[in-house]
Structure 1
Amino acid sequence: MLALDGVGRTFGSTPALENVSLRVEPGEFVCVVGASGSGKSTLLSIVAGLLPPSSGAVTLDGAPVTGPGPERGLVCQSGAVYPWRTVERNIAFGLELLGLTRSERLARVDWYLAETGLEPFRRSLPKQLSGGQRQRVAIARALACEPAVLLLDEPFGALDVQTKEDMQVFLRQVWQDTGTTVLMVTHDVEEAVFLGGRVVVLASHPGRVTAVVPVELPADRDLSVKRTPAFLALRAQVEDLIRAPGRASRAGSTGYSA
């Protein structure tokens, strides 16, 4: 289980996060949303071990998070694939660092190439791929190390609408196939409701949890679910929570725990 207990972060004298508590159970897909200034990316950087919290603690399966580690895979908006490596060698990169044998690396790379639909592009360089395909490579590379938690920082923010929706369907299918725990931050409420089993809403200045909305939609989702009354009601609920600074302030002052 991933646990955040009273996590806060200041930059100089400016608080970015305040008293954030959250539990993410194994196999869950949790999305974090909030307006500008809610500290979404800061929160993910702390969980990834790239930033230390100014207060509170993050633990994974009871062990404190004190820095980056292979048990947490991180994918950002840019994807950050290695331009000089082919698709298959990008996916194999983390496996080389873990010291897997060549046969183990090949077997795992082959599986993730098939799972992500990248098999036809295995020997292509990133410059030969579309934006969506490059993000698939980044996600496959992170998952190939079989992390306990996959951390996603607005991974589809730079994509056009159609590609973004294709990637949402792809990501949810990969999550169902692998059972990986996912914590994702996004500014896109529709994306959060479509992907997540729960949506955590952050208030701004400083970032703090104001609500946790369970997403009671079918486990098998395609894009048609976005047109259903249940989906539209959930999206409106989350949007209203983001737009309610007074309510968010009152909730944040009580140290809301998710």
Structure 2
Amino acid sequence: MTAGLRIEGLTKEFVPGRPVLQDIDLAVSPGEFVCVVGASGSGKSTLLGLIAGLSRPTEGRVLLDGHEVLGPGPDRGLVFQTASLFPWRDVARNVAFGLESLGVPRGARAERVRWLLDEVGLGHLAGALPGRLSGGQQQRVSIARALACSPRVLLLDEPFGALDVQTKEDMQLFIRQVWQDVATGPVREAPAAPPDPAHRSTVVMVTHDVEEAVFLGQRVLVLSSDPGRISQDIPIDLPEPRTLEIKRSPGFLAVKAAVEDQVRAEHRAHQARAVP
């Protein structure tokens, strides 16, 4: 069985003969953090939805640990730009929702939720309703909820796009720390001890922010447009752990410029193809 996420010959059409994505081939190793950038209309969110199982490819397939993705499942956690929390459930019960659906016993469920809320810095707000939380806090709850069932893959669709600059940078540091801390083993029947950080969730994150992609990712995929294809797969070789100061380093700025140049080139090529 092949471990990790694989996409083979994927094409997606919503209108026959007009592919949004075409001939996508991609392999993501277990525990990798991959960011996807590209111009509007390049199919970034469509790609994420296909991995999540929210829709099926027109051609090709998505495989997770050797099994074809045929629909949504607890092995994939999805976080959108808008938190989409249940407003009538307090923070703890929002995080516990997936565990309840899986029938995890109450004691194990409570222990897992308690650990996750401490991990995301919201243990003191376990009993609060979402309406009392800031935008950044709501996204932390969304991420904790997505991680509660120990997904093999965490899918992030521009999760920080609606936040102010300071909160956004705080969340960037937060998601990288959580990625390093949270293990992906199966939910256990016994109360969950803090998981082994050697077993990380794979993260695939869509963002329009090149700086964010370079800061967070181990790889950055640049999509072309109309149809969306992977035009470049750029490894990000930056020191660990990453702090915000690295954004001012010559190495970071050089990689950011290279990715921006590629995105710009793809956008110009798309505009040129659109001219009759």
Common topology (TM > 0.5): yes
Match of 2:92 in 1: 88
1:149 maps to 2:130: no
Q: 1:210 to 1:100 in 2, by over 3 A?
A: same
Cα contact 1:91–1:109 (8 A) shared by 2: yes
Q: TM (normalized to structure 1)? A: 0.94
Match of 1:7 among 4, 10, 27: 10
The amino acid of 2:67's aligned partner reads: A
Greater shift in the superposed pair: 38-47 or 177-186: 177-186
1:201 has 2:229 as partner: no
CA separation in 1, counterparts of 2:155 and 2:202?
9
How many angstroms apart in 2 are the aligned matches of 1:187 and 1:244?
A: 15
Contact 2:155 2:205 in 1 (8 A): yes
User: What is the rounded CA distance, in whole Å, between the counterparts of 1:26 and 1:15 in structure 2?
Assistant: 29
- Structure-to-structure mapping, 1:110-125, within 5 angstroms: 110-125=114-129
Contact 1:75/1:138 (CA < 8 Å) preserved in 2?
yes
Match of 1:140 in 2: 144
| Distance in 1 of aligned mates of 2:264 and 2:22 | 19
What does 1:56-205 correspond to in 2, within 5 Å? 56-178=60-182, 179-205=200-226
2:225–2:267 contact (8 Å) kept in structure 1: no
Equivalent residue for 1:253?
A: none
- Post-superposition shift, 1:245? 2.8
Structure 1: distance between partners of 2:106 and 2:240:
36
Q: What SS does the aligned partner of 1:94 have?
A: helix
Question: In the TM superposition, what is the alpha-carbon distance from 1:219 to its structure 2 partner?
Answer: 2.1
2:224–2:267 contact (8 Å) kept in structure 1: no
Following the alignment from structure 1 to structure 2, what is the Cα–Cα distance between the partners of residues 165 and 98? 34
CA distance in 1, matches of 2:12, 2:167: 34
Listed one character per residue, the Cα deviations across residues 161-208 of structure 1 (whole Å, up to 9, x for unaligned) are: 111111000000000112111011111100000000000010011110
By how many angstroms is 1:218 displaced? 1.3
Cα distance between partner residues in 1 of 2:269 and 2:32: 25
Distance 1:137 1:240 in 2: 35
SS of equivalent to 1:67: coil
Distance 2:89 2:131 in 1: 10
Give the number of equivalent residue pairs: 249
The equivalent residue for 1:227 is 248
**2:205 alignment partner AA:** M
Contact 1:210 1:248 in 2 (8 A): no
Query: What 5-or-longer segments of structure 1 have no aligned partner?
Result: 250-258
Structure 1 vs Structure 2 CA RMSD: 1.3
Which blocks of at least 5 consecutive residues in structure 2 are unaligned? 183-199, 271-276
Counterpart among 8, 12, 20 of residue 24 in structure 2: 20
Distance in 1 (CA, whole Å) between partners of 2:202 and 2:240 is 15
Q: What is the deviation of 1:247?
A: 9.7
Distance (whole Å) between structure 1 residues aligned to residue 267 and residue 82 of structure 2:
34
Tell me, what secondary structure is at the counterpart of 1:244? helix
Alpha-carbon distance in structure 2 between the residues aligned to 1:98 and 1:248: 47
Q: Which amino acid aligns with 2:222?
A: V
